[in-house]
Chains A and B, each alone.
Chain A
């Protein structure tokens, strides 16, 4: 049963990644696009976690941790650039 549920959740997260891509393409302003990219990296972490669950290994969680840290830092850096015109003052 768990395999079928994992497949269903894979489909859900793939659909939400496509919706995020749609918002990234049509987003009328720059903060909309930053928000779409932020949501996309969170959903990518979900995909990696699901793949690790279906493989039954713990190896992929370190990649998920790396993506989480780098995504947060890049979101804050690009927002800081939009606010100030400079990242490190």
Chain B
């Protein structure tokens, strides 16, 4: 029974990571490209780490908390690195396509 749960979590996590990388390649400009890896890949990593924790806890009869530490660290640091990257993109004044809205709200760089 727990093997089925681990397998489903692994497959869903792998699909999320793959979708994030496809979005990184296929999206037209940087402001759209940032969405794929910072959201989908992070969620896929969290699912994969939860499945690893379940597998090792079921085989070794002890609760392993290192995976929770890694997934918490990734979930905390992904928004910060995305913020730093979007700051550097605004600083470099990257061009965007027509449909990207909200660029008028950007204040002048300090």
A residues in contact (CB < 8 Å) with B: 1-2, 5-6, 8-9, 12-13, 15-17, 19-20, 22-23, 29-32, 34-36, 38-39, 42-43, 45-46, 49-50, 52-53, 56, 58, 61-62, 64-65, 68-69, 72, 75-76, 79-80, 82-83
Is there an interface contact between B48 and A20, defined as CB atoms closer than 8 Å? Answer: no
Contact, CB under 8 Å: A32 / B84? no
Interface size on B, residues (CB 8 A): 50
Give Cα distance in the complex from A46 to B71, angstroms. 11
B77 nearest CB neighbor, chain A only: A72
Q: Mark B22-47, 1 if CB is under 8 A from A, else 0.
A: 10110000100110010001101100
Which residue from B11, B18, B66 sits with its C-beta under 8 Å from A5? Answer: B11
Give, as a whole number of angstroms, the nearest-CB distance from B34 to chain A: 6
Q: A31-B92, A49-B48, A52-B52 are in contact. Are A58 and B64 (CB under 8 A)?
A: yes
Tell me the minimal C-beta distance from A17 to chain B in angstroms: 8
On whether A35 and B77 interact (CB within 8 A), knowing A42-B45, A58-B64, the answer reads no
Q: Known: A5-B10, A31-B94. Contact between A56 and B59, CB under 8 A? A: yes
